[in-house]
Amino acid sequence: MIRTVSASLEPIREKVEAGERLDAREALSLWDESVDLHELGELANLVRERKNGNAGYYNINTHLNPTNVCVYRCTFCAFRADLRDPRGYVMDDAQILARGREAVDAGSTEMHIVGGLHHQKDYDWYLGVIRVLHDAYPTLHLKAWTPVEIDWFRHLTKRSVREILVEMRDAGLGSLPGGGAEIFHPEVRDKICEHKADTDAWLDIHRTAHSLGLRSNATMLYGHIENAFHRTDHLLRLRALQDETGGFQTFIPLAFHPDNTRLSHLSKPSATMSLRTMAVSRLVLDNFDHVKAYWIMLGIGTAQAALAYGADDLDGTVRHELIYHDAGATTPEVLSVDQIRRLIREAGRDPVERDTLYHEVVRDGSGWHSGAKIPSGAVR
């Protein structure tokens, strides 16, 4: 793939309007600052609207990071701790169950579970996290473990990824979150997270999950040492896997937060960079139904604006998020349902509560159930 190219937006506009796929050269050209950001946003908005109408999705969710102790030292991570670091913690079953109770009482439909790879915890401890939560709270969808954890479990157990995923699924795993993708290109990956699951492992674990009927998300960490070529390469690798499996639900571009990391000398990406990333992602990932503006890391204002630059989802009300807050995010710890609905309405969209697998959530006083599957856009 060529590394730099600048282009007028006109031929791309024609292709997007005709529902045609952008090629690698066109995708790369969209990052050039000579391409007007707002025109780009308008095109991405057209795609968003075709796929999702005027809906602005959100869910009610809670995070659980059972430990921050991690064998890896990714340069961008402020959350991890060494084994003997006073900041290090490990939750026991009682604490995990208390978090589950709190989630259910708050009306959460989903628990997002990721954590460090603890030097002294075996695979059964991680399996137990899923099992105790699912046994106690069977209606809570457990969106847990990225390929980084699954690859670590493979290393610990010497068993196949398929076997591990089947066992996790049988214990209550509902789907996989999108983390651990960072930047796939080895020129960057080898510098920011050289030891953890490599690109082929990341993609292959999602491929295996999809073949088992587990849906998943995908992310891209941008705004650090990568460039337009690496971001384009990342999106194209995801698009190719989605062509093969159709198992991804949502793409989430993640803006790098430098505070308390080994990359703290970098500044965080600007709002315009975030909006461009959202728009380019929406235009290139023509086979993804959803693009998420994760308000925790974008900040509320940029996340609202992103709903006009290709994003159709704000993630959730979120409680107990640590990864971004440890890295300097100044967003609140939690939004109320009224607040998130108001943010979506202010941005001109109709708020729709969804579950993790994109069914509309129906609430009837005390409880909730999943209603109709949210239709996916037929037009690219």
CB of 80 to ligand V47, least distance (A): 9
Q: Is 252 in the site for ligand V47 (CB under 6 A)?
A: yes
Stretch that binds ligand V47, among 42-50, 122-130, 253-261, 343-351 (CB under 6 A): 253-261
- Comparison of 100 and 147: residue with beta carbon closer to ligand V47: 147
Distances, alpha carbon 250 to alpha carbons 177, 178, 281, in Å: 9, 8, 11
Residues 210 and 216: beta-carbon distance below 8 Å: yes
CB of 252 to ligand V47, least distance (A): 5
Residues 254 and 324: beta-carbon distance below 8 Å: no
- Comparison of 164 and 327: residue with beta carbon closer to ligand V47: 327
The CB-nearest residue to ligand V47 is: 179
Q: Using CB under 6 A, which of 261, 274, 304, 331 touches ligand V47?
A: 261
Binding mask 55-84 toward ligand V47 (x if CB under 6 A, else -) reads ---------------------xxx------
Residue 123, Ramachandran bin (φ over 0: left; ψ between -120 and 50: alpha; else beta): alpha
The backbone torsions φ and ψ at residue 291, rounded to the nearest 5 degrees and listed phi first, read -125, 130
CB of 309 to ligand V47, least distance (A): 18
**Closest to 68 (Cα-Cα) out of 15, 121, 124:** 121
- 359-364 and 350-353 strand pairing: unpaired
Distances, alpha carbon 313 to alpha carbons 71, 256, 340, 363, 365, in Å: 33, 19, 11, 19, 25
Binding mask 143-182 toward ligand V47 (x if CB under 6 A, else -) reads ----------------------------------xxxx-x
CB of 221 to ligand V47, least distance (A): 4
- Comparison of 26 and 179: residue with beta carbon closer to ligand V47: 179
The backbone torsions φ and ψ at residue 367, rounded to the nearest 5 degrees and listed phi first, read -125, -170
Q: What amino acid is encoded at 187 in this protein?
A: E
> Which residue's structure tokens are 């070529």?
229
**Closest to 180 (Cα-Cα) out of 243, 116, 130:** 116
Q: Is 197 in the site for ligand V47 (CB under 6 A)?
A: no
Interface of this chain with ligand V47, residues 292 to 331, rule: CB under 6 A = 294, 297, 315, 323, 327
Binding mask 212-241 toward ligand V47 (x if CB under 6 A, else -) reads -----x-x-x--------------------
CB of 23 to ligand V47, least distance (A): 27
Q: Is 254 in the site for ligand V47 (CB under 6 A)?
A: yes
- Comparison of 280 and 293: residue with beta carbon closer to ligand V47: 293
Q: Is 103 in the site for ligand V47 (CB under 6 A)?
A: no
Total site size for ligand V47, rule CB under 6 A: 21
CB of 376 to ligand V47, least distance (A): 17
CB of 274 to ligand V47, least distance (A): 12
**Closest to 319 (Cα-Cα) out of 79, 55, 93, 65:** 65
CB of 228 to ligand V47, least distance (A): 19
Residues 215 and 247: beta-carbon distance below 8 Å: yes
Q: Is 256 in the site for ligand V47 (CB under 6 A)?
A: yes
Residues 156 and 122: beta-carbon distance below 8 Å: yes
Partners of residue 176 on adjacent β-strands: 216
Residue 146 CA to residue 64 CA, distance in Å, equals 13
Residue 43, Ramachandran bin (φ over 0: left; ψ between -120 and 50: alpha; else beta): alpha
Residue 239 CA to residue 236 CA, distance in Å, equals 5
Binding mask 280-299 toward ligand V47 (x if CB under 6 A, else -) reads --------------x--x--
Q: H or E segment at 359? A: strand 359-364
Q: By CB under 6 A, name the binding residues for ligand V47.
A: 76-78, 177-180, 182, 217, 219, 221, 252, 254, 256-257, 261, 294, 297, 315, 323, 327
